[in-house]
Amino acid sequence: MRQEKSLRVQEAGNMFHTKQEAIDFIYESYLKAQPYLNYNDPDGKKRNPAWTKEILNELAFGTNVLITGSKGKGSVSHMLTLILMSQGIKTGLVTSPHITDFCERIRVDETVICDEKLLEYADSLKGRIRSIPVKQGGYVSPVGIILALAFSWFREENTKVHVLECGKGVRYDDTRNIKHDYSIVTPVFKEHTRELGKTIEEIAGDKSRVIQPGQKYVFLAEQQECVNRIFWDRAKECGVSVRQYGKDFFCENISFGEEGMSFDVVTEKKRYCGIKLPLFGTHQAKNCALALALGEEISGNLEEDGAKEFLGKMHYPGRMEIVSRHPFTLLDACINPASVPMLKEIIERVPHKKLAVILAIPEDKDYLGVASALKEEAAFMVFTSTENPHYHFSKQQAEKAGGFPYIEGAKKAYEYVKNMDADFICILGTTSLITDFKKQPFFPISICKRRRR
Contact 395, 406 (CB under 8 A): yes
Percentage with pLDDT > 90 across the chain: 63
Q: What is the pLDDT of residues 279-331, one digit of tens each?
A: 888 999 999 999 999 999 999 989 999 999 999 988 777 788 888 878 888 88
Contact 311, 279 (CB under 8 A): no
Domain boundaries, the chain: 62-119+142-311, 321-439
Q: Which CATH superfamily is domain 321-439 in?
A: Mur ligase, C-terminal domain (3.90.190.20)
pLDDT at site 6:
33
Work out the pLDDT band at 442, boundaries 50, 70, 90.
low
Do 321-439 and 62-119+142-311 have the same topology in CATH? no
Examine the pLDDT at 449 and tell me if it is beyond 80.
no
pLDDT at site 84:
98
Please give the average per-residue pLDDT across 263-268, as a whole number.
96
Please give the average per-residue pLDDT across 10-35, as a whole number.
85
pLDDT at site 21:
95
Examine the pLDDT at 196 and tell me if it is beyond 90.
no
pLDDT at site 441:
52
Q: What is the pLDDT of residues 221-231, one digit of tens each?
A: 999 999 999 99
Examine the pLDDT at 3 and tell me if it is beyond 50.
no
Q: Domain 62-119+142-311 class? A: alpha beta
Q: What is the pLDDT of residues 146-173, one digit of tens each?
A: 999 999 999 999 999 999 999 999 999 9
